[in-house]
């Protein structure tokens, strides 16, 4: 069983983030400043040994790979950011590519959403917008990716390189022409074909885009089941809001503007951890192209505070139980030999396999045990040092 973990490269500073969010901003910035918002809310999360690493250090990447291999993670799916030739957060992946001693399977997921301020505010300012109309850009993008798909470590399906698109449905009608062009370029560069997968976030196949060029539909969990029943946890007491309006009216202060500024009345979406997992497993494959997803846990409040989404109640034992069931589900219902895990290192969204101060290595041990107990553990490596860089 190939567990492929999503990998976020935003653990080093870049000029674009420095300009927007302040000097030396990284994903750790949001992680460190997080606060508990309700009773039982575990924030901030902290990496084991205060390992607030910098991904411009290739030794960090080697440590991550050694850890992943030891506990049975098959490979990483690196998020890749391309905006008509403008690259963001590309250095860690380029370091990985350049160092052939890092022996670990990988694929690229083009995170083709607009680069916006949505995580920081509700204004939804677009900083970098995707434009798919430039056909020369299609070629330039392909040739940037070519060294990655030619690499011996690239994940292949029937000998063909795998490329994932984050939001295929968000690309207009040009998607078929673009992917067809990439197939032509792939054949010109010695490949039989490329295998495309799209990362289905909404679980909605009625969006009207033609997925005939795609081999796989990856169920991105637990966002895929986010539309199921959930409860709201008020951050502000609505009776307080009621009386606050009366007071503000008395002083002739615009309540609507105050409410927006103060975020009065916003609420965190809380989903029971077991319930989210049970719905994930019970839904089964939506199409014959479906690849199942898995998740450690989710808590997006470090990024978006009161508008966050939390799966509440995770323990390593629960994670082991559900992951084991999903591995069996993947093999027997989906008839697949791979699943995508959210995530290796999404610390500001609460989804990480890396060791932390609360659970140590227990989450990674749960992965290994789930693979072993289903007869799917693929690696037999010698013990190496844990948690030291």
pLDDT tens digit string along 341-386? Answer: 999 999 999 999 999 999 999 999 999 999 999 999 865 444 444 4
Compute the distance between CA of residue 127 and CA of residue 125 in angstroms, rounded to an integer: 6
Q: Does residue 387 fall inside a structural domain?
A: no
pLDDT score recorded for residue 271? 87
* pLDDT at position 233 over 90: no
Instruction: Tell whether the torsion through CA atoms of 190, 2, 283 and 348 is positive or negative.
Output: negative
Percent of the chain at pLDDT above 90?
66
pLDDT score recorded for residue 379? 53
pLDDT score recorded for residue 287? 83
Per the model's pLDDT, the better-predicted residue between 98 and 124 turns out to be 98
C-alpha distance from residue 364 to each of 64, 222, 356 (Å) = 12, 19, 11
Mean pLDDT, all residues of the chain? 86
Tokens in use for 281?
């497993």
Q: Does residue 309 fall inside a structural domain?
A: no
* pLDDT at position 71 over 60: yes
Looking at the 3D structure of the chain, how many domains does it have? 1
Q: Does residue 117 fall inside a structural domain?
A: yes
Tokens in use for 160?
């063909």
Domain extent at residue 153: 2-226+273-298+314-373
SS3 219: strand
Q: Does residue 255 fall inside a structural domain?
A: no
Q: Does residue 284 fall inside a structural domain?
A: yes
Compute the distance between CA of residue 7 and CA of residue 80 in angstroms, rounded to an integer: 10
SS3 109: strand
Q: Does residue 145 fall inside a structural domain?
A: yes
* pLDDT at position 121 over 70: no
Indicate which CATH number applies to the domain containing 281.
3.20.20.80
pLDDT score recorded for residue 32? 98
| Residue position matching structure tokens 């030291």 | 388
Q: Does residue 162 fall inside a structural domain?
A: yes
| Residue position matching structure tokens 């380029």 | 94
CA nearest 322: which of 357, 282, 376? Answer: 282
Q: Does residue 242 fall inside a structural domain?
A: no
pLDDT score recorded for residue 126? 77
Q: Which long-range contacts (CB under 8 A, 24 or more apart) does 313-318 make?
A: 313/272, 313/273, 313/274, 314/273, 316/359, 316/362, 316/363, 316/365, 316/366, 317/366, 318/273, 318/274, 318/277
Q: In the predicted model, what is the mean pLDDT of residues 316-327? A: 98
Band (pLDDT 50/70/90 cuts) for residue 387 is very low
Instruction: Tell whether the torsion through CA atoms of 18, 310, 223 and 269 is positive or negative.
Output: negative
Side-chain half-sphere exposure of 83, counting CA atoms within 13 A: 14
How does pLDDT run across 166-214, given as a tens digit for each residue?
A: 988 778 778 899 999 999 999 999 999 999 999 876 555 545 668 899 9
Provide φ and ψ at 2, rounded to 5°: -95, 105
* pLDDT at position 388 over 60: no
Compute the distance between CA of residue 213 and CA of residue 186 in angstroms, rounded to an integer: 14
SS3 19: helix
Compute the distance between CA of residue 357 and CA of residue 219 in angstroms, rounded to an integer: 30
Q: Look up residue 218 and give its DSSP letter.
A: E
Percent of the chain at pLDDT above 70?
81
Compute the distance between CA of residue 15 and CA of residue 26 in angstroms, rounded to an integer: 11
C-alpha distance from residue 281 to each of 120, 293, 325, 351, 368 (Å) = 32, 9, 7, 18, 19
Q: Where are the alpha helices (DSSP H) in 156-215?
A: 175-188
């Amino acid at each position: 069983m190939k567990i492929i973990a999503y990998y976020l490269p935003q653990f080093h500073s870049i000029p674009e983030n420095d300009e927007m969010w302040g000097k030396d901003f990284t994903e750790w910035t949001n992680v460190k400043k997080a606060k508990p918002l309700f009773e039982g809310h575990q924030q901030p999360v902290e990496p084991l040994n205060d390992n607030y690493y910098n991904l411009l250090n290739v030794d960090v990447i080697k440590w991550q790979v050694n850890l992943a291999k030891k506990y049975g993670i098959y490979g990483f799916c690196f998020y890749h950011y391309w905006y008509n030739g403008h690259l963001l957060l590309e250095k860690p992946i380029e370091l990985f590519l350049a160092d052939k001693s890092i022996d670990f399977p990988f694929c690229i997921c083009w995170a083709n959403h607009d680069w916006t301020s949505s995580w920081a505010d509700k204004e939804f300012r677009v900083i970098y917008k995707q434009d798919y109309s430039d056909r020369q850009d299609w070629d330039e993008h392909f040739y940037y990716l070519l060294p990655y798909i030619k690499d011996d470590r690239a994940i292949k399906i029937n000998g063909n390189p795998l490329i994932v698109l984050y939001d295929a449905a968000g690309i207009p009608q040009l998607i078929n022409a673009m992917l067809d062009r990439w197939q032509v370029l792939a054949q010109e560069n010695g490949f039989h074909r490329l295998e495309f997968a799209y990362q289905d976030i909404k679980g909605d196949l009625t969006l009207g885009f033609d997925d005939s060029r795609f081999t796989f539909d990856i169920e991105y969990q637990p966002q895929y089941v986010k539309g199921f029943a959930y409860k709201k946890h008020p951050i502000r007491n609505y009776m307080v809001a009621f009386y606050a309006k009366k007071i503000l009216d008395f002083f002739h202060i615009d309540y609507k503007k105050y409410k927006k500024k103060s975020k009065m009345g916003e609420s965190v979406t809380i989903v029971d951890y077991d319930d989210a997992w049970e719905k994930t497993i019970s839904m089964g494959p939506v199409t014959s192209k479906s690849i199942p997803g898995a998740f450690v846990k989710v808590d997006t409040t470090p990024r978006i505070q009161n508008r966050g989404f939390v799966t509440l109640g995770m323990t390593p034992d629960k994670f082991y139980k559900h992951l084991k069931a999903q591995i069996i589900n993947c093999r027997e219902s989906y008839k697949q030999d791979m699943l995508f895990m959210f995530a290796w290192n999404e610390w500001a969204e609460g989804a990480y396999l890396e060791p932390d101060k609360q659970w140590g290595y227990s989450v990674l041990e749960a992965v290994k045990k789930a693979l072993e107990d289903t007869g799917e553990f693929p690696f037999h490596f010698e013990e190496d040092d844990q948690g030291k860089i």
